Structure 1
Amino acid sequence: MNKATLWSLRLGFSNKEVHKIESLGLEKFLENSFKSKVDTIIPAFLNDSPKSLEDLKKLRQNRKTISAEAIREMVKKENQVSQEMKVWWIEKMISDDFPLREKMTCFWHNHFVATFQKVKVNHWIFQHNQILREHAFGNFKTLTKKIVQSNAIVRYLDNVDNRRDKINENLSRELLELFTLGIGNYTENDIKNGAKGLAGLGPGENAAQYRKFIEDNETITYLGKKGTFKADALIDIIFEQKNAPYLITRKILKWFIYDNPPEDLVLYYGDYLREVDFEMQPLLKKIFIEEFSKNTGGSKIKDPLVFILQLKHELHIDTINTRLLNTFLKQQGMDLFGQPNVKGWNGGKEWLSSQIYVQRHNTADLLCNGKAISRFTFNNDDPLLSKNQNRVSKVSIDFDASGTNKTIIAELQDRLLFQMNEEMQVDFETVLKYDFNPKSEGAENAVLRLFNAMVKLPEFQLI
């Protein structure tokens, strides 16, 4: 696979950035990505959703006086808003000129998990997503402080139930286990004492806030330090620990490059992250530039986003129903704002179960034949999906119309597959025969058949 193609897929969601990487060079491409702007406008689909604490209070009071049917309609409406938010995000991933910010936002989204199913307030979920986007390339410690004191996280991890007379340890535990240090680098007493420091931290207007009548001001010992600590102070202590950088560098390497990152790289990049005081931009730049020089193709299974958006780009599908893409992602186990648990999507081999592989085959068949993936292709819960199952899309494939069957096979292989052997070459030549005429009528259909055969291979599932 062409190196620029490989890194376009890794740093984005498709082959769209190949020419930018080739023309700008990776370093300039990264600089432009880091400078990308964040749109702070609240999307229109949230206009009627509750935003303030007063809105939520009125909503709770209103539910006491209306019928069960009216309550179901309210719940249905907010579920539909949640679906709109997923579609909005997918469209951002597709349309952004430098999608690395959205790729990194998605990484943080799967690190600091907060699902709509549990939080139930769309505006809080949107605020959470915006924090991740705004701080995508910023300081890890600063981002951790922002997220721990977000309304979505205190609701998702039950800190709304954490009070001095009834301690709830969920947020304290995940702050250490999943967000920062990892298992084995703290004690149960650290969890209990951290929970005391977080007691009383609950929803506020734009961020979580402490409530004095339920907060706990007891002197505690936390990771070897003694005092009265609140959220920011707890996180400062965490980031002083020896192992603070390694969990996140392991997850960065796994998200972008290796399903099983070498431990020496985890330590090497983790030590660098500590040197730069947990600033993510220099870490990302160092990782991407150094790993770009290596031959790492085939070290990672494509997640569903990369799989489907690469097909969309290669087939020049300009218009595609993003609701259907959302359904595809959910069926593939990558439900945005809806991870299965606080650990998020595991990725790796879980992206390629037998069921997922069959779904990818079926989707490739439909798209290569100009048929839209439809609401009947998958089980779905979005009532707004189109009912037109057989709608035909215009698809086309780029290939050298002055080439031969072998040069066209090599051209597609360079774009799609990280490796190829003699047996595969023979199979491809049975699809695109030796006497193939690229200028003949129907030549593109023959190349599309070759493309379809390639994207069904195990090698296409890897980057």
Structure 2
Amino acid sequence: MNKNTLWSLRLGFSAKQQRAIEQMGLSTFLEKSFRSSYEKKTPSFLDNSPKSLKELRTRRQEIKSSNADNVKELLKVEIQVQQEMKAWWLQKMMTDDFPLREKMTCFWHNHFVSTFQKVKVNHWIFQHNQILRENAFGNFKTLTKKIVQSNAMVRYLDNVDNKRDKINENLSRELLELFTLGIGNYTEEDIKNGAKGLAGLTLGEDQAEYRRFLENDDTITYFGKTGKFKAEDMIDIIFEQKAIPYLITRKILKWFIYDNPTEALVTYYGDYFRKVDFEIKPLLTKIFTEEFPKDNAGSKIKDPLVYILQLMNELNVEQLNPRLLAFYLKQQGMDLFNQPNVKGWNGGKEWLSSQVYLQRNNVADLLCNGRNISRRAKIINDDMTSENVNQLIKVSLNWTKSGTNKTIIAELQDRLLFQTDEDLQKDWETLLKYDFNPKAESADNAVMRLFNNMIKTPEFQII
């Protein structure tokens, strides 16, 4: 596979940035990615959703006092907002010239998990997503402090139920186990005492805040230090621990390059991450620029986002409804804003189960034949509205319309596959024969059949 295409897929969601990486060089491309702007304004689809505790209480009272039909309608509106939020984010992923910020936002989205299903307040989920986007290339410690003190997170991990007379350990546990240190690098006493330090941290207007009558003011011992610690103090202490850089560097390597990074790489980049005081931008720069020259294609199974957006880019699909795309991702097990649990999507081999692989091949057939990515005439959205998805869509494949069957096969191989062998070559030369005429009326259809065959191979599922 062309190296610039490979890294376009890794630093984004398709081969769309391949030419930019080739022309600019990786370092310049990264700098422009780090400086990329993003919309800070709240999207209009949230205009009528509750944004403050007062508005939320008013909406709850409205639901409580309404009849069944009105309640159903109010809930339907909020589910519609959730679908719009998914489509809004997917649109950003597809259209940004420098998609690394959204790729990193999606990484943090799967690290600091917080879902529609549990939080139930769409504006808080949007705030959570914006915190991840704003701090995507910032400081890991700063980001951890902001997320732990977000309304979405205190709701998702039940810290609203963590009070001085009734301790709930969920947020305290996941802060250590999944967000920062990893299993084996803390004690149960650290979890219990951390929960006391987090007691009373509950819902606020713009972010979570401590309520005096719910706080626990006991002196606690946390990782060997004794005092009356609260959320930010506790996170400062966590980031003094020896194991702090390695969980996140392992996850970053897995997200971008290797499904199974070596411990040597994890340690090497983790030590550097500590050295730069947990700044994310220099860590990413070091990882990408040092791994770029290596022969490491074929080290990671594509997640559903990369798979489908690469196909759409190759086929020049423009009019696919992002809501339908979100529905497809849900089928593939990558439902945005609704991970299966606090651990998020596991990735790796789970992206290539027999069911997922079959769905991918079905989608390949549909798109290559100019049809939407569902065999069903309609899909029923979560808001109970239906949408006709069986219409034709325009697709076109770019290929050099000259040369021989072998040069065309080589061109597609270079764009699509990390490796090939003699058997595959023979198969493709059977599909696109030696006397193939690129000027013939049927040439586009013949090359599309070849393309469809290539994207169904195991080699296409891997980058």
Alignment TM class, shorter chain as reference: over 0.9
Larger displacement relative to structure 2 (13-22 or 64-73): 64-73
| Structure 1 residue 373 displacement after superposition | 1.7
Q: Could you tell me which residue of structure 2 aligns to residue 216 of structure 1? A: 216
Rounded to whole Å, the distance in 2 between the matches of 1:118 and 1:64 is 19
Q: Could you tell me which residue of structure 1 aligns to residue 387 of structure 2? A: 386
Contiguous gaps of at least 5 residues in structure 1: none
TM-score, length of structure 1 as denominator length:
0.98
In structure 2, relative to structure 1, the CA distance for the partners of 1:113 and 1:263 (3 Å cut) is same
SS in structure 2 at match of 1:261: coil
Q: Could you tell me which residue of structure 2 aligns to residue 441 of structure 1? A: 441
In structure 2, relative to structure 1, the CA distance for the partners of 1:362 and 1:288 (3 Å cut) is same
Q: Could you tell me which residue of structure 2 aligns to residue 363 of structure 1? A: 363
In structure 2, relative to structure 1, the CA distance for the partners of 1:218 and 1:97 (3 Å cut) is same
Rounded to whole Å, the distance in 2 between the matches of 1:296 and 1:78 is 44
In structure 2, relative to structure 1, the CA distance for the partners of 1:15 and 1:433 (3 Å cut) is same
In structure 2, relative to structure 1, the CA distance for the partners of 1:384 and 1:17 (3 Å cut) is farther
SS in structure 1 at match of 2:226: strand
Q: Could you tell me which residue of structure 1 aligns to residue 232 of structure 2? A: 232
Q: Could you tell me which residue of structure 1 aligns to residue 411 of structure 2? A: 411
- Confirm or deny: 8 A CA contact 1:164 1:200 kept in the other structure: yes
Deviations 1:287-316 (CA, angstroms, capped at 9, x unpaired): 000000101111000000000000000001
Deviations 1:335-386 (CA, angstroms, capped at 9, x unpaired): 0000000000000000011111010000000000111124727965344553
- Confirm or deny: 8 A CA contact 1:249 1:269 kept in the other structure: yes
- Confirm or deny: 8 A CA contact 1:199 1:214 kept in the other structure: yes
Rounded to whole Å, the distance in 1 between the matches of 2:186 and 2:59 is 41
Rounded to whole Å, the distance in 2 between the matches of 1:385 and 1:183 is 45
Sequence identity of aligned pairs in percent?
Answer: 71
Larger displacement relative to structure 2 (377-386 or 404-413): 377-386
Amino acid aligned to 1:316: N
Confirm or deny that 1:3 pairs with 2:3.
yes
In structure 2, relative to structure 1, the CA distance for the partners of 1:388 and 1:158 (3 Å cut) is closer
SS in structure 1 at match of 2:240: coil
Rounded to whole Å, the distance in 2 between the matches of 1:279 and 1:301 is 28
- Confirm or deny: 8 A CA contact 1:101 1:136 kept in the other structure: yes
Larger displacement relative to structure 2 (315-324 or 147-156): 315-324
Rounded to whole Å, the distance in 1 between the matches of 2:375 and 2:426 is 37
Larger displacement relative to structure 2 (58-67 or 286-295): 58-67
- Confirm or deny: 8 A CA contact 1:162 1:168 kept in the other structure: yes
Larger displacement relative to structure 2 (318-327 or 230-239): 318-327
Rounded to whole Å, the distance in 2 between the matches of 1:388 and 1:380 is 10
Rounded to whole Å, the distance in 2 between the matches of 1:154 and 1:69 is 31
SS in structure 1 at match of 2:214: coil
Q: Could you tell me which residue of structure 1 aligns to residue 123 of structure 2? A: 123
Give the RMSD, CA atoms, in angstroms: 1.1
Matches within 5 A, 1:31-430: 31-374=31-374, 376=376, 380-382=380-382, 383-384=384-385, 386-389=387-390, 391-430=391-430
Rounded to whole Å, the distance in 2 between the matches of 1:375 and 1:121 is 33
Amino acid aligned to 1:386: E
Deviations 1:122-170 (CA, angstroms, capped at 9, x unpaired): 0000000000000000000000000000000000000000000000000
| Structure 1 residue 71 displacement after superposition | 1.7
Larger displacement relative to structure 2 (313-322 or 237-246): 313-322
TM-score, length of structure 2 as denominator length:
0.98
Deviations 1:369-405 (CA, angstroms, capped at 9, x unpaired): 111124727965344553141x211211111111110
Deviations 1:1-59 (CA, angstroms, capped at 9, x unpaired): 00000000000000000000000000000000000012111101101000011001112
Larger displacement relative to structure 2 (188-197 or 368-377): 368-377
SS in structure 2 at match of 1:343: coil
- Confirm or deny: 8 A CA contact 1:172 1:194 kept in the other structure: yes
Amino acid aligned to 1:387: N
